[in-house]
Amino acid sequence: MTTNRRIFKNTAALASADIFTRLMRFALAVVIARTLGAAGYGVYAFAFSFAEIYGVLSDFGMSNLIIRDTSRDKRYLARYVGNILVVETVVSLIAFGFLFVLVGAMNLPQEKAVIVYIAVIAYVLTALAQIVRATFKAHEKMEYDAVLNVIQQSVTVILGILVLYFGYGLFALALAFVVGSLINLIASLALVSAKFTRPKFAPSRRFLRYLGKEVPSFGLIVFFTLIYYDISTVLLSFIQGDAATGWFNAAYAMSVALTFLPAAFMGALFPVISTLHVSSKDLAKTVYNESFRYMVILGIPLAFGTTVLADKVIDIIYGAQFHNSIVVLQIVIWSIAILFLNFVLTTTLTSINLQRVVMYATGLGVSVNIILNLLIIPGYSYVGASYVMIATELTTFCICFYYASKNLCQIKLPRLLSKPLVGSFVMAVVVYYLRPINLFIIVGVAVWVYFATLIALRTFTQQDVSVIKSIIGRT
């Protein structure tokens, strides 16, 4: 199987699963919002955003270390997975003890505190499963990872909708997440042991020293990334209350759900670029350059189209009580367009052993995020928090783009952006005049207009045609 076809197969597997699971999670979010209202949804968003930030102490980026190192030499896979699984379990138990102290210091209402505890347990179980599932990505067998992801989310969402339907509330909803995560962990261990290798616990001082050297960079990248994804939700809850949190998070969660394609695409490319960095640096540069170009072509029209259609989307999905989410969606979607590019930059830099650059970039992004949120949220609430997301993504982009240009290849941004911007503008004008008709018809016409404009502008190259031919197996 050629590299292009392997990348396509893995991207298709991850993307298909990601589309399904994001749609399932989004359906659950809509049910929560419509059942519990803005304030109830705000409590849910706070608890799980806080848990996601705190839960990173369990994984701390160790699954990415496994993928990077063992995709180059799979002889050490069993020992990597076994040792890191034990280390992560011990760290998780210690971190959970400190959680009681932290939640007590925040003086949360009892119901909110209990939901936070349960949500953290769910994230810890998922983090342990991620360590085991790193085996699939190291072997570039993404279909196994995809199936397990679908199983976990299906169980969680079905149970979640059922408990809400029968009126059991947020406590039972949080337990549904724990059940889904536990099933994921058990199934992951069983499948890895049966198909690939049995995790082996064989600790050594040398390995522990290596973890001590490498893990902080990976862990801080994940930690910083989660903070600037979730800190706005947490700060809004403390400063403006649950309703403002619900309005912001409803639109932001919808926007993040649209990142399934870059997430899947770069997830498939991570082990590939890591291997090419050792075997063929020129090919690694080509993969980076083309990946960046494809994300520009996809991200820009998404931002234009969503901005024009935000009111229709919010009204159809959430209803009139979330009218305030319209302006949030119109703003944060531009941060998602930048995030498409940041997926390429951060994944590529990590693949070529420049994870410290990503760590510093995301760390600075977090600093910008927290400072601006503390300054802006008191006066501008959820609208201010929306603009902060753009500033955060831009900060990370500027630093990562500089180092990628320095260490890989130069990308001429004005030239690269010009044609997608023209195509997106033409598409947006058409969409604006089609607003009165059915949303799905508008989306179909928008896609056709955009790509027809790109073709007329001769955006696609002979290399693009060759890539497509190699994917489908034609010469």
Per-residue pLDDT tens digits of the chain, which is 475 residues long? 455 555 555 555 556 666 777 778 878 888 888 888 877 888 888 888 887 777 666 666 666 667 766 666 666 677 777 777 777 788 778 777 788 888 878 888 888 888 888 988 898 888 888 878 777 776 667 677 778 888 888 899 999 999 988 888 888 999 999 999 999 889 888 888 887 777 777 767 777 777 777 666 666 766 776 676 778 888 888 888 888 888 998 888 888 878 777 776 666 666 666 666 666 677 777 777 888 888 899 999 999 999 999 999 898 888 878 889 999 999 999 999 999 999 888 888 877 778 788 888 888 988 899 999 999 999 999 999 999 999 999 999 999 999 988 887 788 888 889 999 999 999 999 999 998 888 889 999 999 999 999 999 888 776 655 555 444 444 4
CB atoms within 10 A of CB 267: 21
DSSP 8-state symbol, 382 = H
Residue linked to tokens 């969660």: 253
Q: Which of 352, 56, 59 is nearest to 229 (CA)?
A: 56
Query: How many angstroms separate the first and last alpha carbons of the chain?
Result: 14
453 close to 423: Cβ distance less than 8 angstroms: yes
Q: What is the DSSP string of 423-438?
A: HHHHHHHHHHHTTTS-
| Cβ neighbours for 249, distance < 8 A, ≥ 6 positions apart | 41, 42, 45, 49, 233
- For 18, 108, 331, the CA distances from 258, given in Å and listed in that order, are 10, 32, 15
Q: What is the DSSP string of 321-344?
A: GGTTHHHHHHHHHHHHHHHHHHHH
Cα separation of 473 and 90, whole Å? Answer: 47
Q: Report the Cα 411 to chain-centroid distance in Å.
A: 24
DSSP 8-state symbol, 200 = -
Cα separation of 77 and 193, whole Å? Answer: 12
Angle at 140 between CA 136 and CA 143, to 5 degrees: 65
Q: Count H helices and E strands in the chain, helices first.
A: 15, 0
pTM of the model: 0.70
230 close to 50: Cβ distance less than 8 angstroms: yes
pLDDT of residue 471: 42
> Two tokens at 56?
């990173």
Backbone angles phi and psi of 473, in degrees to 5: 90, 15
Q: What is the DSSP string of 215-261?
A: HHHHHHHHHHHHHHHHHHHHHHHHHT-HHHHHHHHHHHHHHHHTTHH
pLDDT of residue 432: 93
- For 74, 202, 223, the CA distances from 86, given in Å and listed in that order, are 20, 10, 20
For 272, half-sphere exposure in the C-beta direction (CA atoms, 13 angstrom radius) is: 26
Interaxial angle between packed helices 260-279 and 3-59, expressed in degrees from 0 to 180 and rounded to the nearest 10: 110
CB atoms within 10 A of CB 351: 26
Cα separation of 181 and 343, whole Å? Answer: 25
Cα separation of 346 and 433, whole Å? Answer: 38
